[in-house]
Amino acid sequence: MSDHSPDNFQGYAKRCFTIFGVVMAITLMMVAVHFAHLPTALGIGLTLVAAVVNAALVAGYLMHIVSERKLTIIVLLFTFFFFAGLFVLTLGAHYSLPWGTSMH
Amino acid sequence: MHASSHAAPHHDHAAAAHHDDHAEPNFWRKYIFSTDHKVVGIQYGLTALCFLLFGFGLMLMMRWQIAKPGQPIPFVGDLLYKVLGDVAAGGVMSPDLYNSFGAMHGTIMVFLAIVPLAVGAFGNYVVPLQIGACDMAFPRLNMASYQFYFVGGVIMLASFFIPGGAAQAGWTSYPPLATTVPTNGQTFWLIGMVFLITSSLLGSVNIITTIIQLRAPGLTWMRLPFCVWAQFVASFLLLLAFPPLEAAGVMQLVDKLAGSSLFLPTGLAVGGATADISGGGSPLLWQHLFWFLAHPEVYVLILPAMGLIADIIANNTRKPLWGYKSLVFASLGLGFLSFIVWAHHMYLTGMGTRIATFFQTTTMLISIPSVIILTCLLLSLWGGSIRFNTPMLFAIAFLPMFGIGGLTGLPLGFSASDLHLHDTYYVISHFHYVVAPGTIFALFAGIYFWFPKITGRMMNEFWGRVHFVCSLVFMNVVFMPMFAQGMAGMLRRMSDGGVNYSQLSSANEGVQGALSPFIIGLNNYIVWGAVCLGLAQIPFIINLFWSIKHGKKVGDNPWNATTLDWATPTPPPHGNFLTPPTVYRGPYEYSVPGAPKDFSPQNEK
Amino acid sequence: MEIPYTIQPRPDTGTYNAKIGMWLFLASEVMLFGGLFSSYILLRVGAPADTWPHGWLNVPLGTINTALLSLSAITTLLAWVACKTKNYGRFKLCHGLTLLLAVTFLGIKAYEYRDKFLHYEVRLTDGRIADGHLEEKSKDFDLAKKTGEVVLHGRIVGSQAELMTHGKAADMKEIKVAAADIKRMQNYGPWHNTYLAIYFVLTGLHALHIIGGILIIGYYWGPGSAMWFTNHELFTNRIEVSGLFWHFVDLVWIFLFPVLYLM
């Protein structure tokens, strides 16, 4: 593949387990937030941020996106833009009502 | 018949290309279970053309019912009754059957005919040749993609024959109707769609990877024929836009089979009684997910067509395309924007003005790259030394036809005018203009153009021109009146041809806006136009098959074209090129000043 | 002519064919699960007050599943490293662990699904609602004929809204309900409410992807491992690419777990 060809199993394994440790720590933090019964918006916000960080760790390090060529990263960025578009615009349409009408 | 295990002796050049290949494969491996992109392309092409004809037949029967509601369909009425039973009692198309045919006409034309022909057939056959590759990046995946398509098609066809018939809720399958129709046609439709989407996914991964990785040495991105760029962008659209529809399809299947209410709202009443469902679902959710695919899908329908037209125009004007870079960047922009315009299909769902304006804006913006592409193609004719052969006739006709289709999209894109035009025949006419005398003309042009590469023979030119003139005339006879009907307010999907909403019905005495007899009367012209359009395809079908054996024999490059696909033996052997090509110049170096010939092939030093 | 760049990377793109193919496929999978997640969001924000459940899923089990899947992502990567460092025994060990972890994940998921199908909401004729796990049905239980009785382990509440939160384990007790008192009885399948419907669709599709991954990784761990000896580089690439798929499956779970279990 590229420059990140592993030559040392032990060293690589150590780095992997470190990532695992961080991912599990963040996961347990999310569980703690759940049991703390924080106000809804705050709870959701914190949990989502944590999930995104976990995802970034897995995608970045385990899937080696950090060491991928620009091409792959660009394709993925476009994908996420469309992914975001799907969410944001659909919700936008849901919350957008004609004048004088109200939800429910 | 099993071929013996040695290469046929008279194909010396084929044998040379086979030097690393093994025994000549048997009939099944060569024609049915082949991984060769050319065989897969032809399989897609023939299957898609069959579906195109079948979908056309469905429409013919519908148009008869529209023009002459309640009258038995001539010739096929009795057959329909024998095969489908009571829905066609007396040879008359019942409203349920009309709805079925309508839903399946749309589904078959879009998903089983046009896209497989444009992307599956032309994409598979032409792209590896034009980039100088020996095959697609993943040949076995290619074979699998055709097989998924085939199975999906069989499931869709089978749905006509199950009790209750095929899906009846439009090609758009809106719930709650789609879910609550008590028959299984919709279930078959959903399962068929899962197969078709899978096929499309495998195909698009293959095409994109092939274009990225297997370009010949010297073939930089800006030296690619526009045909390849078009397939590249279309494949990206298929790759990223189909999955939300697959998700929605799975959800609708769960609604139908497991009784959930993902798309069914609380308080839904079916047949007069409150439905026994949990409720809480959202019919609009389906619409969002469906149109998230279906809008990019229409660009998948048109982009490969534009690609074919571009190559044919450059070749038959003997000059480079005007604005190659503009074409490329416009198609990239088109692809990108196509993901954020979808709710212009949903202006009447109760969205507020802010979000409607957002979608209106992006819809207006997307007309810009469309116009750029059409303008470049049009300007490419200027100063050309035009050869008016059959492919070129179709290509030239494509331009104004697509122009009409595209321009009539504008009043639909503005939410204010769409209030009047939504769900009328104006919409039907708009999109048929883009796809029927638009894309289909481009596909015909492509068939006539690439036929000599596939078979080594030309199709008959006289009958090609007959096919062209008749198709052009009758396409317009069929679709032009529909603009008037739509503007007069005639709605879509009415099995009685609009009579119930017209002045012809005594119930509408004095009702303002009731359709006039003239508007209803146009249905008669349309049905005869459709019949003649169908008859006009007969010379094409005969020509296609007859020319395989009896067409005028030609060499490897009968059109004197520059792109790599014409640098192979004819028909191209397994592996395509005798020696791996190297590319020295752009794709449309025609009439280069000082060059010995009026065309400079890409791979000649 | 051989298809180039199946093993060696193409210089200008820096990678080999299968990896590009897999990234493209994963991009489409992002859109697939994206469609489902956006459906979840729309259904949830569109739900009237007190109709969206909280705490209906077993968080400890979900956390264990998260750990199992994240660990399997690590072992998958290490299996590839073992390929690169040409250590066959380690490759077998690492991917063997991956398979074991994956199967355990599915086992726990199956247990959770079964739990839902055994959980009943029983609307009583007096307007109250009994809600809990079905312990036993009497032999003559027939809802239509109104004979027999069921025993649930759960609680009785006064309104639908109270059901939306799970209730404390300590408050659960044995409840006997006669068929004659039952107006309607339904278990917690996808038909029960939209939360469960989207839960089953999301986790079901995810589970199908896990099964797919098990089949592919299992093939290359088992019969397909012969390729280690016949074409080691191609084999390594296959392990890398299937590993990418597996990491994606883990990625989806990283979002599924908080969204369905914690929010």
Yes or no, beta carbons of A79 and C27 under 8 Å apart: yes
Q: What pLDDT is attached to residue A61?
A: 80
d(CA A79, CA C59): 31
Closest-CA residue of B relative to A99 is B352
d(CA B350, CA B487): 22
Report, as ranges of residue numbers, the positions in chain C whose pLDDT lies below 50: none
CA distance A101 to chain C (A): 16
Summarize pLDDT for B237-272 with one digit per residue, the tens.
999 999 999 999 999 999 999 999 999 999 999 989
Closest-CA residue of A relative to C60 is A31
Task: Name, in order, each residue with C-beta under 8 angstroms of B307's C-beta and a sequence gap of 6 or more.
Answer: B225, B226, B227, B228, B229, B230, B231
Pairing state between β B273-274 and B269-270: antiparallel
Exposed e or buried b per residue across C88-123, where buried means at least 16 C-beta atoms within 10 angstroms of its C-beta: eebbbebbbbbbebbbebbebbeebbeebeebbbbb
Reported as a pLDDT band with limits 50, 70 and 90, residue B5 is: very low
CA distance B471 to chain A (A): 39
Mean pLDDT in residue range B422-439: 96
Closest by CA position to A16, among listed A66, A78, A58: A58
DSSP state of B167: -
Yes or no, beta carbons of C197 and B277 under 8 Å apart: no
Summarize pLDDT for B496-506 with one digit per residue, the tens.
999 999 998 88
Q: What pLDDT is attached to residue B9?
A: 40
Q: What pLDDT is attached to residue B13?
A: 43
What is the domain extent for residue C134? 119-187
Q: What pLDDT is attached to residue B32?
A: 84
Reported as a pLDDT band with limits 50, 70 and 90, residue B85 is: confident
C33 and C45 in a single domain? The answer is yes
User: Could you say which of B244, B250, B576 has the minimum Cβ distance to residue C34?
Assistant: B244
Reported as a pLDDT band with limits 50, 70 and 90, residue A81 is: confident
Residue B457 has pLDDT above 50, yes or no: yes
Q: What pLDDT is attached to residue B197?
A: 97
Q: Alpha carbon of B392 to those of B168, B278, B435, B468: distances in Å?
A: 39, 58, 18, 10
The number of residues in chain B equals 605
C103 and C88 in a single domain? The answer is yes
Residue B14 has pLDDT above 60, yes or no: no
Yes or no, beta carbons of C27 and B281 under 8 Å apart: no
Mean pLDDT in residue range A87-104: 83
Yes or no, beta carbons of A97 and B340 under 8 Å apart: no
Summarize pLDDT for B227-237 with one digit per residue, the tens.
999 999 999 99
State chain B's mean pLDDT as an integer.
93
C138 and C215 in a single domain? The answer is no
Summarize pLDDT for B272-283 with one digit per residue, the tens.
999 999 999 999
B222 neighbors B586 (Cβ within 8 angstroms): yes
Summarize pLDDT for B311-359 with one digit per residue, the tens.
999 999 999 999 999 999 999 999 999 999 999 999 999 999 999 999 9
Residue to test with chain A: of B351, B357, B358, B419, most A Cβ within 10 A: B351
C75 and C141 in a single domain? The answer is no
Say what the pTM is.
0.93
Summarize pLDDT for B146-203 with one digit per residue, the tens.
999 999 999 999 999 999 999 999 999 999 999 999 899 999 999 999 999 999 999 9
For B520, the token pair is 């209803």
Q: Which CATH number characterizes residue C131's domain?
A: 2.30.30
Q: What pLDDT is attached to residue A104?
A: 58
Q: What pLDDT is attached to residue A70?
A: 74
Selected residue with higher pLDDT from A10 and B195: B195
Summarize pLDDT for A51-80 with one digit per residue, the tens.
999 999 988 887 777 666 777 788 888 888
Q: What total number of domains does chain C contain? A: 2
Q: What pLDDT is attached to residue C146?
A: 87
C198 and C180 in a single domain? The answer is no
d(CA B235, CA B238): 5
Mean pLDDT in residue range B90-111: 95
- C: neighbours with 3+ CB pairs under 8 Å? A, B
C141 and C218 in a single domain? The answer is no
3-class DSSP state of C123: strand
Exposed e or buried b per residue across B78-93, where buried means at least 16 C-beta atoms within 10 angstroms of its C-beta: eebbeebeebbeebbb
ipTM of the complex: 0.95
Yes or no, beta carbons of A85 and B356 under 8 Å apart: no
For B32-263+280-567, which CATH class?
A: mainly alpha
The residues spanned by each domain of chain B are: 32-263+280-567
In a domain, C127, yes or no: yes
C205 and C103 in a single domain? The answer is yes
For A14, the token pair is 């150590």
In a domain, C16, yes or no: no
C183 neighbors C112 (Cβ within 8 angstroms): no
Q: What pLDDT is attached to residue A77?
A: 86
Last residue of a domain, one of C155, C187, C219: C187
C75 and C200 in a single domain? The answer is yes
Cβ count within 10 A of residue C158: 10
Mean pLDDT in residue range B552-574: 95
CA distance C4 to chain B (A): 7
d(CA B469, CA B537): 11
Give the sheet arrangement for strand C182-187, strand by strand: C173-178, C149-157, C129-137, C119-124, C182-187
Residue B27 has pLDDT above 90, yes or no: no
Closest by CA position to C246, among listed C16, C37, C29: C29
Q: What pLDDT is attached to residue B325?
A: 97
Q: What pLDDT is attached to residue C143?
A: 84
d(CA B419, CA B409): 14
Directed axis angle between helix A70-95 and helix B226-258, to 10°?
50
Reported as a pLDDT band with limits 50, 70 and 90, residue B114 is: very high
C147 neighbors C192 (Cβ within 8 angstroms): no
The residues spanned by each domain of chain A are: 9-95
Strand ranges inside chain C, DSSP E: 119-124, 129-137, 149-157, 173-178, 182-187
Q: What pLDDT is attached to residue B21?
A: 52
Mean pLDDT in residue range A15-25: 92
Last residue of a domain, one of C139, C169, C187: C187
Radius of gyration of chain A (CA): 20
C211 and C142 in a single domain? The answer is no
